[in-house]
Every structure is written in structure tokens, then in C-alpha cells.
Amino acid sequence: MKPPPPTSQQGHQSQQSWAATTIVLDHTATRKPAIIKIADGIYCAHDYAVANVFLIVTDTSVVVIDSTESLSAARAILNDFRKISSLPVSYLIYTHHHGDHTRGAKEFCSSETKVLAHRLLPQEIARKNLFLPHRERINSQQYATALRFAKDGYIAPTTTFEHHYTFNEGGISFDLSHAPGETEDHVRIWLPQQKVLFPGDLFYGCFPMLNNPLKPTRPVSVWTESLDHMLTLQSEHLAPSHGLPMHGAAVIAETLVKYARAIRHIHDATVRCINAGQSLDATLREVRLPPELASLPYLREKYGKVAWTVRGLFRQYTGWYDFNPSGLNANPESLRQRVLLEVCGVSPLVERAQRALREDEPQLVLELANVILAGWPGHLRARRLRLSALHRLAAASVSSMERNIYSHAATAAQAALDGRTTLGTNRARSDIT
């Protein structure tokens, strides 16, 4: 079936733009930026920013894929790339709407540059801008760092498409297809002559963030379908938006097969548990990656987590009622905690929390401290126990986001103990990923 024609928008007048400021993470001291050659005329600007930028030199121009979250990073990329090619940028392609892919666009674009994206990209940005105060709060938790501000460089698409879009520029064919997974508006780019595949954020070198604990659920079931489709292309070069390019058809195929298998395994195992009537807790205990997948370096839980995926799928597929009638119209948790405190008393809970800390059970320490602090917010020993638990949980975390969330909470707790302002007052606009 022939896909619907693309929708054109004249010029770069934005119907919907990102908020006026954007987060830029100050990690430049540890970066080692480089322009890496993927194949003849095809380059990856790696480690200039959170995400890669790709630059394809044609006979007549340069086609750019994604733009980083930062105008300064985009400027540095273009300056370095001008040592390779001085041709104008004819196209900028967004793989999806996340800010680390869209906010450096103005550095790459002239008035003649065409900007391509999926039809849903402007809607996704508009939806996120409805929740700016909320996103301000979650950004500082996700990245657990002081945030600075930069001018936003997003440019709205001039052309959008629904399913499939192809064009030829300077002798090179570009094949774009809707490939939902990381986001609903996600696009994969394929260069059939050069056998180069740009999967965007559908693949990176660790277990994927199938469900972000701070953000809406993601379309996990179709993520595997997008990977399955990419496998049929038999690419010889794989250029993900995060991490280094890969080479070799056999290696790429094996990697994508196992990546898709891991996602499908967690999804299907969770669905089986739901249909068997198991609780969320029971499902969390049961669902694991098979050892032969869990041991793979590109499936380590350094970013996404299996448990978070299970929780997200439960929420997505079953709603919030857990078939325990006590939760249907539950009292506020703080009330339950205060009643428990009245019954047990403070001292036994403090002593049990201290014992849990000695026995290296920081999660239990955190939960007991919450009970105490619900009824006695200023209880100094409970606050210190909570801080110790947060530090231990952060130190034990393999996932960078998990570690950041605990670290952010620990920093805020320490600031409160010291009587200082917390990170929560450092307000930032919108999100990166």
C-alpha cells in the first residue's frame, strides 16, 4: 500500500516549539569529542553532547541526522566538520522529539534547509510543554546535577510524514520509516546503497529504558516490531544515537536479534503473569532475563531496568487497582504511617532501622524512616538514617538513572539537614530524554 503523502510546512515558522530554555548538562570535562568515519562520506559526531549527530556528504550537500541538546555542541560539531566538507546542509532529519536530538538545529540550518520528522513530533513537543513545572522537577532528579540554561535551537519540521518517506540527495538514497519504541514519533533512517542503518534510540549499549519511572509508559510491544523490521535490512553498519557505531552484518544481526529477544521476553513474561492473576510483587520476583541474555554487555541494566519495565507494563495493561479492596479507596499513605507510628512507637522503629542499616538493608531503612518522618518530620535520627540509606542505595546502583534519583534525594536531604536550599529550587525548562 502506498503511504500517505508527506505534509509540508513552508519555512521554519514553528507552530509549536520547545520552551525558551533548555537543560545542558555540564559534563564537558569528561568528554572526548571526535568525528568518526562510519563509511565513505558518512560520519558520526560522537561525545560532543548527550547524543550523536550524523553527517552524510553527498555530491551536492550535507544531510544531518539529529542536532544535540545544545547550540554550543552543535556549533562545535559543525566547526570541526567543516575541515571535512564545506558543502551546505540541505536536510536535517529528526529521529524523534527528545531534546538531546532536536535543540541544536539552528546551528545546522539555513533558510534553505529542509527539516524532516514524523507527523507526531510537533504533537509530542506540545504535549510535554503542558507539563513544564512537573518536568522541571523530574529533570533535576533524572540527572542529579546542577543545571544551567541555554537558548533553545529547535526548528519545527518543514516536512512530516506518516509511515514512509524517501528522497535522493546528491546521488545518495535516504529511506525513512516510522519505527515507534523509544517514542511514538520515532523514525529509523536507512541508506540502502551504503548499507548504513541509523536506529536512533531503538538500540544502545545497555538494557533499554522501556519504562522511565519519571515519565509516561513507552510502546514496548512495538519496540520489538521496529527492531524486527530493521533486521530485514541486513545492515553492514549500525550507527546508534548513543554510543559508538558498529560494523559487520553478522555482528549487527546477532546483536539486534538478542536485543529484540530480551525486550520481547520481559514483555511476554509480564503478560503471562498478569493473565495468571499474579500480583505485581509476585511478577517482579519472577520476571528475569535468561542468563544467556543478562550476561551480554549490551543488555546490562546500566540505564533501563527489568523491574522498571515490569512495573510500567503492569501500569499500562492493568490500571492502578491491584485487586486488594483496601486499595480501592485507600487512605493517604501518610495517615497509615502515622497510625503505625502511634501503635509501634518511635523507639522500636528507630532501633529496627538502625539494625537494618547494620545488616545492609538500605531499602528497609528508607521505608522505616519514612514511617517515622510521616508523624515526626523533624526527627533527627530518622533523617540521618534516611540519608545513610540513600547514599548506600546510590552507591549500589548499576543504572545511572537509579543512582541519580537516589543521589538527588540524598543531596536534598543533606541540604535540609544543613538548613540549605535544596536542588529542587534550581528550575529548568522541559526535558532532555
Say whether both 84 and 124 belong to one domain.
yes
Residue 283 lies in a domain: yes
* Residues 48, 33 contacting (CB under 8 angstroms): yes
Say whether both 134 and 207 belong to one domain.
yes
Domain end (from 232, 259, 286): 259
Say whether both 50 and 120 belong to one domain.
yes
User: pLDDT tens for residues 417-428?
Assistant: 998 754 333 332
Residue 325 lies in a domain: no
* pLDDT bracket for residue 429 (50, 70, 90): very low
Mean pLDDT of 223-231: 97
Q: Are strands 196-198 and 187-191 parallel, antiparallel or unpaired?
A: antiparallel
User: pLDDT tens for residues 233-254?
Assistant: 999 999 999 999 999 999 999 9
> Model's pTM, two decimal places?
0.88
Answer yes or no: is pLDDT of 68 > 90.
Answer: yes
Say whether both 277 and 394 belong to one domain.
no
Answer yes or no: is pLDDT of 401 > 60.
Answer: yes
Would you state the pLDDT for residue 54?
98
User: pLDDT tens for residues 329-343?
Assistant: 999 988 988 898 889
Say whether both 41 and 163 belong to one domain.
yes
Mean pLDDT of 133-138: 82
Query: Could you tell me which residue, 72 or 425, shows the higher pLDDT?
Result: 72
Mean pLDDT of 106-133: 94
For residue 31, give the nearest of 45, 46, 47 by alpha carbon: 47
Answer yes or no: is pLDDT of 151 > 80.
Answer: no
Would you state the pLDDT for residue 16?
54
* pLDDT bracket for residue 358 (50, 70, 90): very high
Residue 162 lies in a domain: yes
Say whether both 312 and 357 belong to one domain.
no
Say whether both 31 and 133 belong to one domain.
yes
User: pLDDT tens for residues 269-315?
Assistant: 999 999 999 999 999 999 999 999 999 999 999 999 999 999 999 99
Say whether both 182 and 266 belong to one domain.
no
* pLDDT bracket for residue 145 (50, 70, 90): low
Domain end (from 259, 280, 307): 259
The total number of structural domains that make up the chain: 3
The amino acid present at 333, given as its one-letter code, is E
Domain end (from 209, 233, 259): 259
Say whether both 144 and 43 belong to one domain.
yes
Say whether both 294 and 306 belong to one domain.
yes
* pLDDT bracket for residue 149 (50, 70, 90): very low
Residue whose cell numbers read 514483555: 267
Would you state the pLDDT for residue 31?
82
Query: Could you tell me which residue, 385 or 11, shows the higher pLDDT?
Result: 385
Give the residue numbers spanning the domain of 291. Answer: 261-318
